[in-house]
Chain A
Amino acid sequence: MLEKYYIITFASSTFAMSAKFILSSETGFRIIPLPTEIDASCGLCLKIEYDQFENIYQKIIENKIEFERVFICELDEERLKCTILTMRQQQ
C-alpha cells in the first residue's frame, strides 16, 4: 500500500524541537528520526500527514519557523522515495 506524506528538515535538531513545541496544539504531524533516504546524518525532522500539510506548513510560515527543505515522500513496499519540493526558509 502506498503511503504519502511530507517531510520538513531543519538545520539542527534544536530547530526541529522548537517546531514541535510551537506546533504542539496542531495534529497530523510528528517528529521522527531523519530518514536515511534523505540524509545519512543523525537528525530529527517533521513528518506531516498528506492531508494536513497545508495547515501545518501555513503555521510554520506564520510562526517563522526556520526549516531547510520540504520533501514529498512515497513509501511503497518498504521502499521510501522522497522528492524535494521547497528549499529553506530563513529569517
Chain B
Amino acid sequence: MEINAVGLACPKPVILAKKHIRSNPSQALTIYVDNEIATQNLTKLALQLHLHAKTTKLSNDRYSVEISPTSDSNTNSEENTIFNIPDNENTCKIMDDFSEDYIVIISSDEMGKGDELFSKTLLEGFLYALCEQDLLPKYILFYNKGVTLTTINENTLKDLKSLEQKGVEVLSCGMCLDHYNLKEKLGVGSITNMYRICELMSKYRNVMPC
C-alpha cells in the first residue's frame, strides 16, 4: 500500500499513516513526503507502534518511509535514518502529539455513584470491555478501594491477568493494600508507590472510570 503525502502539511502524513496502520496492521505501507520532519515523525510513529520503519531520500524534496510489521524491534534503531533537523520555529514538530498511549486509573471498586452492586458490576464490565479494546493502556493503576480488584475479586483478576499477558502493566498502591489488609492477597501485577503513580498520571493521558 502506498500513500502520497507530498505537499501535505504536517501532521496530515502521520494522521494518514496512523489511520491506515490501525485498519491494516499487518500490511506494509510506503508513505511519500516532501520534508525531513515528516520522515522523523513517521519513524517515531512506527517505533511507538513497534513497527519497522525505513526512510529513503529520493530527492531534495521527496522521501519515502516504508513502515512494516517486524518481530525484531532492534532493527528499528539500526536501520532508521535519523536526520538532523534544524530548530526552526516555522517547522512543524509534532513528535509526541500523536501518541496514543494512555493509562487507566481505578480508584474505587465501583464505577460511578449509585446502587452499590450495580456500580460494582459496571466496573467489572468496564475491565472486561477493556480487554477487548484494540488499543490497550500502557498501565492500569489501582489505588484506594480499587485494590480489591487486584486482590479478592476473581472476575477482575482474570481480566487483569489477561491484560498483563498482552503487555499491560498492572500496578497497585502499596499503602492502600496495607490499609485494607490485602497485601498478601495481591493476585496480579506489582506494588507501586505514590511517586510512581504521580509520575505516570502526569506523563500519560488518563482514563478514569471511577
Is A21's CB under 8 angstroms from B121's CB? no
Kindly identify, within residues 16 to 45 of chain A, every residue whose CB is under 8 Å from any CB belonging to chain B. 17, 20-21, 30-33, 44
Is B117's CB under 8 angstroms from A21's CB? yes
Chain A residues with a Cβ under 8 A of chain B: 13, 17, 20-21, 30-33, 44, 78
What are 19 sample pairs from A and B whose C-beta atoms fall under 8 A apart? Answer: A17-B117, A17-B118, A17-B121, A20-B117, A20-B121, A30-B124, A30-B128, A30-B155, A31-B121, A31-B124, A31-B125, A32-B124, A32-B128, A33-B125, A33-B128, A33-B129, A44-B121, A44-B125, A78-B132
Sample of 19 further A-B pairs with CB below 8 A, known A17-B117, A30-B155: A13-B118, A17-B118, A17-B121, A20-B117, A20-B121, A21-B117, A30-B124, A30-B128, A31-B124, A31-B125, A32-B124, A32-B125, A32-B128, A33-B125, A33-B128, A33-B129, A44-B121, A44-B125, A78-B132
Q: Using Cβ atoms and an 8 Å threshold, which residues of chain B touch A32?
A: 124-125, 128
Shortest C-beta distance, A68 to chain B (Å), equals: 18
* Range, interface on chain B: under 10
Closest to B128 in A: A32
Chain B residues with a Cβ under 8 A of chain A: 117-118, 121, 124-125, 128-129, 132, 155
Q: Using Cβ atoms and an 8 Å threshold, which residues of chain A touch B125?
A: 31-33, 44
Shortest C-beta distance, B14 to chain A (Å), equals: 26
The answer for the CA separation of A4 and B171 in the assembled complex, in Å, is: 30
Shortest C-beta distance, B105 to chain A (Å), equals: 20
Closest to B118 in A: A17
The answer for the CA separation of A21 and B117 in the assembled complex, in Å, is: 9
The answer for the CA separation of A63 and B129 in the assembled complex, in Å, is: 29
The answer for the CA separation of A33 and B121 in the assembled complex, in Å, is: 9
